[in-house]
Structure 1
Amino acid sequence: MKNPHICFVAPYLDNYFDSQARDSAGGAERQQYLLAKNLAEDGYEVSAITYKHENSKIDIKEDVKLYKILPEYSSKLDIPFLISNLAFYMWKIDADLFYTRGNTDLCIATSYCCDFLNKKFIYSLADDTNASKSTDKFINKIYENIYSNSLNISNNIISQTNNQKELLKINYNIESTTIPNMYPIPNRKRIRSHEERDYFLWVGDISREQKQPWYFLDLAEKLPKVEFIMVGPGNGDPLYTKTKQRAQEIPNLEFEGFVEPDEIGRYYNKAIGLVNTSKYEGFPNTFLESWSYATPVISLTFDIDEILSTENIGYKAGDLQNLKEIAEDLYINPDKRKRIGWNGRKFLKENYSFEKIYPKYKSILTP
């Protein structure tokens, strides 16, 4: 029996295949890249629809056919235009199943196209907002009704956490399959001793208000004798520029900006702990990256199904003062950060390793 053709509708996925453009690819693209690459290696026909490029319309990278044809759009009012363009290209590509992640506009457009073309559609939530409802104006209620209909069209919906699964059930009365993110685990021989760790690390998109990067700067100012490093894309954005300017005035903080995904491991490997300051998340790849190097996670407010609070693999601080006290404690206690860090790596291996998670995705994407 021939393996099915799977097409990812993912605007920025091609950037992850291009080392020169990865600054505009984030955690969602990382997960889709892992899926697409490994499905192709397993003999499946894999393609992706990404944003239009001036230089080329079709490219093949790592056995994944990239159709760079998706028109860019600026508002929800452009969705009908998006649907009309997408339907034509989806008909031409003729995949057996289409998959998109996070972007609710694309969920709507892709689901309606799949319904019209009689194709299977899988939607994966990217963060809690994809399962939440707005309390805003009337126009948002209309949009939510359309979005709700697109969720019902889906053959399957993937939630990343139990919290997302519950939110989706409460807000839309729709069931989903919980599959967390996955991450490859480096050889333990590469893990640096905790006595030799140098700084606290922050990794994320510095241009996004959701990430609240200013709290990391506040923390660095409160602990002037401790080193801090900030890593993330966003160059050109006002928040990125403001954050960089302020960071450069803090003597114990090094602002790195964008770092290639293939290079990020060395930052985790030298870190005392990873600091997360986000208001909300979906399932942060940074947690997995940190645990893969036996580095504790310290989160200001976000937790994945309360595992930081219950599994002894990190901390949920709750406020900036508590965040400061936790960081101080880990800074002076290498044995404690070693114990918590290795607990995190063990938990990652048992619950979020590629070997554990990829077969779950594969069973849904390749029935």
Structure 2
Amino acid sequence: MVHVCFVSPKIHNFLGTGEETGAGGAERQQYLLACALRDRGHDVSLLTRNYDDGARYERRDGLGVWKWIPDVRGVTGAPLKTSAVWYALARIDADVYYVRGNDFLCMAVANYCRLTDAAFVYAVSSDADVEPSYLADYHPLRRQLYVESIRSADAVAAQTHHQQRILAEAHGIDSTILANGYDLPDEADVPSHEDREFVLWVGRIAREQKRPELFLDLARALPEVQFVMVGPPNDDEEAYFEEVRTKAADIDNLRFEGFVEPSAIDEYYRRAIALVNTSTYEGLPNVFLEAWRYATPVVSLDYDLDGDLRTEPIGRHSGSMDALVADVASLVDDVECRADLGWSGRDYLDRNYSMRRLVERYEELFAGVHEG
């Protein structure tokens, strides 16, 4: 058995702490993977943010929870932040450390593992983690150190073929495709499509990536349809969150929910006619998989899931706002069509993103880097 430590500032939210509103799909996937590994007999630790004034270590749900990560946003105080992370890593003494996204933690953990016998696994969370056009905004030294830290990993996990190509072609880094995974609820828990109530949007309220205001435009264009928007503020975008909330309040057929506890989010997918995505870029959207668990079709403005949303009968890839309005309107009107797409999406999820198969592959990966 392998002792694996997941290094994630916000993963504690999935332990029901109620202390963090910014946890999303990346954290949910790490938590699900951590629990699956725990259930298969592995020793699993979580290194997360120091979110309260309680003990810095506790056991919760059979997981070792270490609350030592400082606020890692920005580069101010980087040496002190790094030393705090290193201190915690040394106390945890895991065989393998896993970081998903987050360039600062990637660099801190990579350098620690260089100095010890521990193995380091880095997982790409979003296309922006590796796309040169997005990394161009980094300071040159930060960009160089970050890419070198990814390169130093004992294994790198990409979510999609697109990410794998970027890693290889732009950075000379080999990677393994290890996407996201979910278990399926019983078919009896999937409501009839005739009983669905609203068109749904779920994501961080992030201006540049998620473009939530386009969903507001969609709701304005279809005033007879009910819309629901769910999501926390993005880091450092609290003012924008309030701006979107204010604009949403003026749209009669749109309900703005803001942050929803992880334990309550499934109910929104169960009641949704369709899930709409307006992002400029993604990694592999957990919201797609979460929707398909409940046979809810996906309508995406731009992101196409490695082309599968264009070629598989699992939803719609619109490509323009006019087409997005038309696609959503047609699914609202055609219950049979959205049911067919939704159940096809659920089957696609089972074939491609099974948690059971994913955790088996991660077990092999973690064992390989630990022994190798």
Using structure 2 for the length normalisation, give the TM-score: 0.93
Whether 1:29 and 2:27 are equivalent positions in the alignment is yes
What CA distance in whole angstroms lies between the structure 2 residues aligned with 1:180 and 1:106? Answer: 21
The answer for the alignment partner of 1:244 in structure 2 is: 245
Identify the range of structure 1 (287-296 vs 69-78) with the bigger mean alpha-carbon deviation. 69-78
The answer for the alignment partner of 1:48 in structure 2 is: 46
Give 1:84 shift.
2.5
The answer for the alignment partner of 1:154 in structure 2 is: 153
Q: How many residues matched?
A: 365
What CA distance in whole angstroms lies between the structure 1 residues aligned with 2:291 and 2:137? Answer: 42
Where 1:366 maps in the other structure, the secondary structure is helix
Whether 1:226 and 2:225 are equivalent positions in the alignment is yes
Give 1:77 shift.
5.0
Where 2:183 maps in the other structure, the secondary structure is coil
The answer for the alignment partner of 1:83 in structure 2 is: 82
* Structure 2 segments unaligned to the other structure (5+ residues): none
Give 1:24 shift.
2.6
The answer for the alignment partner of 1:294 in structure 2 is: 295
Mapping of 1:184-333 within 5 angstroms?
184-207=183-206, 209-234=208-233, 237-333=238-334
Give 1:260 shift.
1.9
Give 1:277 shift.
0.8
Whether 1:354 and 2:352 are equivalent positions in the alignment is no
Contact 1:4 1:366 in 2 (8 A): yes
1:40 partner letter: R
The answer for the alignment partner of 2:179 in structure 1 is: 180
The answer for the alignment partner of 1:122 in structure 2 is: 121
What CA distance in whole angstroms lies between the structure 2 residues aligned with 1:85 and 1:307? Answer: 42
Where 2:305 maps in the other structure, the secondary structure is coil
Give 1:295 shift.
0.8
Identify the range of structure 1 (227-236 vs 6-15) with the bigger mean alpha-carbon deviation. 227-236
Deviation by residue 1:143-187 (Cα, 9 ceiling, x = unmatched):
222112212210000001111000111110111000111112111
Contact 2:229 2:254 in 1 (8 A): yes
Contact 2:201 2:229 in 1 (8 A): yes
* Structure 1 segments unaligned to the other structure (5+ residues): none
Where 2:47 maps in the other structure, the secondary structure is strand
Give 1:330 shift.
0.8
Contact 2:129 2:135 in 1 (8 A): no
Aligned-residue identity in percent: 38
Give 1:234 shift.
2.2
Contact 2:179 2:284 in 1 (8 A): yes
1:291 partner letter: W
The answer for the alignment partner of 2:92 in structure 1 is: 93
Give 1:76 shift.
2.7
The answer for the alignment partner of 2:112 in structure 1 is: 113
Mapping of 1:1-16 within 5 angstroms?
3-16=1-14
What CA distance in whole angstroms lies between the structure 2 residues aligned with 1:270 and 1:169? Answer: 41
1:207–1:54 Cα change, 3 Å? farther
Give 1:9 shift.
1.2
1:271–1:6 Cα change, 3 Å? same
Contact 1:134 1:141 in 2 (8 A): no
Give 1:30 shift.
0.4
